[in-house]
Structure 1
Amino acid sequence: MTALVLEMRRLAAVRLDRAWLAVAAILLALALLAPAQATESLRFTIEALIGVAPWLALSVGVAAYAAASGADNLIGRAFQGRQAPMILTAALFGGLSPFCSCGVIPLIAALLAMGVPLAPVMAFWLASPVMDPAMFALTTGALGFEFALAKALAAVGLGLMGGFGVMALSRGGWLADPLRPGVGDGGCGGAKVRNPRPPVWAFWREDARVEKFRREALKSALFLGKWLTLAFLLESLMLAYVPAEAVAGLVGGEGLAPIALATLAGVPAYLNGYAAIPLVSGLIEQGMAPGAGLAFMVAGGVSSIPAAVAVWALARREVFALYLGFAFAGSLLAGVLFQLAQ
């Protein structure tokens, strides 16, 4: 039996997680309480998944290629040299790296424990969860290239704001010890920085890397599939039961208030970057201001509750406060600028 078949069985056994259970619970409740809506929601979800399938395939391919080729090892280069160029490089790498807001935590712990200045680390920390190549492809498919580009620029801009802001604050000796006592070096996360290896772009020449590509493609497909299924299902309910005029009244129209409200709502209401894409698409169709949609996605990606808990456990309180402050201010600014550009 091949390793891929074993991996499929292992993944199938553990994928009955909260996302799939939520999908099953919602469909069961609809079948009992609103059979007609259950059929409509199921149809909507299937058609939406078929519509996004080309972008999903592209996303899976990009993520698997990055893992198989070892492209993530390039991250170590972002933290070498003088501090200002480090901040710029870290923000750019953060906007392109395939790390989520929680997955980046071990790497951050490694960087800080190894003595890398907080400023470039903060730049990477803030930019990384907002956008990656796979998310860019899915965002383009659901919300258009302009929105995806704006989100990528917001990721880099947020990283630059946080990095240079921390650098200015650190000049007086403040923030010299950002980690909580007893935090380790990040384990395997630090290996990518301590011992960076050159990527193997033509990974198909090595059987082990081809096998890794297959495993990562399957893993990504299952991960994205479950969240997109849940998100499209929730979108169908939102379109059915949430009046468009209510959405437009809260987060639509002109001015700063809708964008600020969306920025604040991004923290508790966020699922993850992939699940947010169809939800925001549905909200914009109902009247949500595009700038508010961008602010919601950027703020939620950086400071969702799971990520915030992880940061709280890792960093001292003043670093945690800066992290949230830069996340809110940068998301709000990104939303305002995008709205002005419409």
Structure 2
Amino acid sequence: MSAPTTGTTGTTGRGTRRLAGLLAVAALAWTGLYALNEVLWDAGFAALGLDLGARVWGSLHFFLYDVSKILLLLVGMIFAIGMLRTTLRPERVREFLQGRSLAVALLLAALLGAVTPFCSCSSIPLFIGFVGAGVPLGVTFAFLVASPLVNEVAVVMLADTFGAALTATYVAAGLTIAVVVGWVFSHLHLERWVEDFVFTTPTATLLRSGRRPTLRDRVDAALEETRDILGRVWKWVILGVAVGAGIHGWVPADFFATYAGEDNPFAVVVATVLGIPLYSNAAGVIPIAEALWTKGMATGTVMAFMMGSVALSLPEAVLLRRVLKPPLLGIFFGTVAVAIMAVGFLVNAVF
């Protein structure tokens, strides 16, 4: 009986080592592609003799480079975080939060949201799982707000585009909004406006067996999550970059100075509202924000536009309506919108 067991163990060990090797090769390939992305597009346009100073070719270069960069980031980061999330169970979060003060629980939930999915739509399954597992509703909403607002991809791209100071401001503002919204919801006792099925049927994909997952289990789950999330957001990334490319090359510089400049006292409100239908995810909206910023829109107004686009979206409203009853859905959107506008006005006053 012992010989077959040993053989099986040896085969399993070799399979694990082979899979680990393939992951290392894939990581190196991804790193190389990401590092060479801009170089390759620059070389291609130069070889064709295309002038990047021209509106058409400049916009096209902007579009191709940013789409490639964002999709590479999405694939790499979703897969890496998916590997990490294979052991994240809603019940563990509930147990970890038990006995902690509300402020600590809200901050921990916001930080957890910052290292999980990239968009509000993909964070809703975890939202359902947390509520169904008994995590307090206010704490769960802190996670739901922070998850799309603050994530690794957004931080990297923000730092590259806007610099460290504004990136730190954005991250701090996003986490603050999440904590404040969670605190408000913790005191309103709104559980009656959550659909009943959330409390009785947790999402099957979030309920793992008690066994320790193998490397193959982790890889399979991460690949499935990557396909799932990427399949939902890739078209929004392309749309977002296309809008950004159009603004980058064709919108006159004085357009935003007129309608969303410092002289318009309602610019932050307008930017927040207009951001909602443009939503894709944080990665997809940053190119648009960059174009708006370079065209003269105030920093706080740009930040409000980004946050409105990321945290409040029509697709999110459709999905959340399956989970939340209309009164709670309205309260959620209204509270987050007011918090975003407050951040926009504050940043405009400081920067």
Q: TM-score range by the shorter chain?
A: 0.7 to 0.9
Aligned mates of 1:113, 1:225 — CA distance in 2 = 30
Q: How does 1:274-293 map to 2 (within 5 A)?
A: 274-293=283-302
Q: Which residue of 1 aligns with 2:201?
A: 185
Q: What's the counterpart of residue 21 of structure 1?
A: none
The SS at the match of 2:60 is helix
SS in structure 1 opposite 2:311?
Answer: helix
Residues 143 and 277 in structure 1, CA contact (< 8 A), matched pair in contact too: no
Which residue type is aligned with residue 85 of structure 2? G
Q: Which residue of 1 aligns with 2:278?
A: 269
Alpha-carbon distance in structure 2 between the residues aligned to 1:220 and 1:109: 17
Letter in 2 for 1:70: R
SS in 2 for 1:73: coil
Structure 2 CA distance, aligned partners of 1:72 and 1:329? 35
1:301 aligns with 2:310: yes
* SS class of match (2:193): coil
- Which shifted more, 297-306 or 214-223? 214-223
1:44 paired to 2:62: yes
Gaps of 5+ in 1: 5-35
Aligned identity (percent) is 25
- Residues 197 and 132 from structure 1, CA distance in 2 versus in 1: closer, same or farther, beyond 3 angstroms? farther
- Residue matched to 2:171: 152
Q: Does 1:124 align with 2:133?
A: no
* Cα RMSD after superposing both structures: 3.5
Equivalent pairs, count: 296
- Matching of residues 1-342 of structure 1 within 5 Å: 39-48=57-66, 53=69, 60-70=75-85, 73=88, 77-79=92-94, 80-82=97-99, 84=102, 85-170=104-189, 175-183=190-198, 185-191=201-207, 206=215, 209=218, 227-253=236-262, 256-342=265-351
The TM-score, its normalising length taken from structure 1, stands at 0.73
Distance in 2 between the 1:108 and 1:219 partners? 17
CA deviation digits over 1:10-55, x for unaligned, max 9? xxxxxxxxxxxxxxxxxxxxxxxxxx965553233235557xx4x8
Aligned counterparts of 1:331 and 1:211: Cα–Cα separation in 2: 37
Bigger RCO of structures 1 and 2 (CA < 8 A, at least 6 apart):
1
Relative to structure 1, the CA distance from residue 185 to residue 219 in structure 2 (aligned partners, 3 Å threshold; closer, same or farther) is closer
User: Does the Cα contact within 8 Å between 1:251 and 1:288 map onto a contact in 2?
Assistant: yes
Find the aligned partners of 1:297 and 1:141 in 2 and give their Cα distance. Answer: 16
Determine the C-alpha separation between the residues in 2 that align with 1:251 and 1:62: 33
How many angstroms does 1:279 deviate by? Answer: 0.5
Tell me the TM-score normalized by structure 2: 0.71
* Partners of 1:248 and 1:288 within 8 A in 2: yes
How far off its partner does 1:245 sit? 0.9
| In 1, Cα distance between equivalents of 2:160 and 2:256 | 23
2: CA distance between counterparts of 1:147 and 1:240? Answer: 24
- The verdict on how the C-alpha distance between 1:196 and 1:99 changes in structure 2, with shifts beyond 3 A counting, is farther
- Where does the alignment leave 5 or more consecutive residues of structure 2 unmatched? 1-18, 23-53
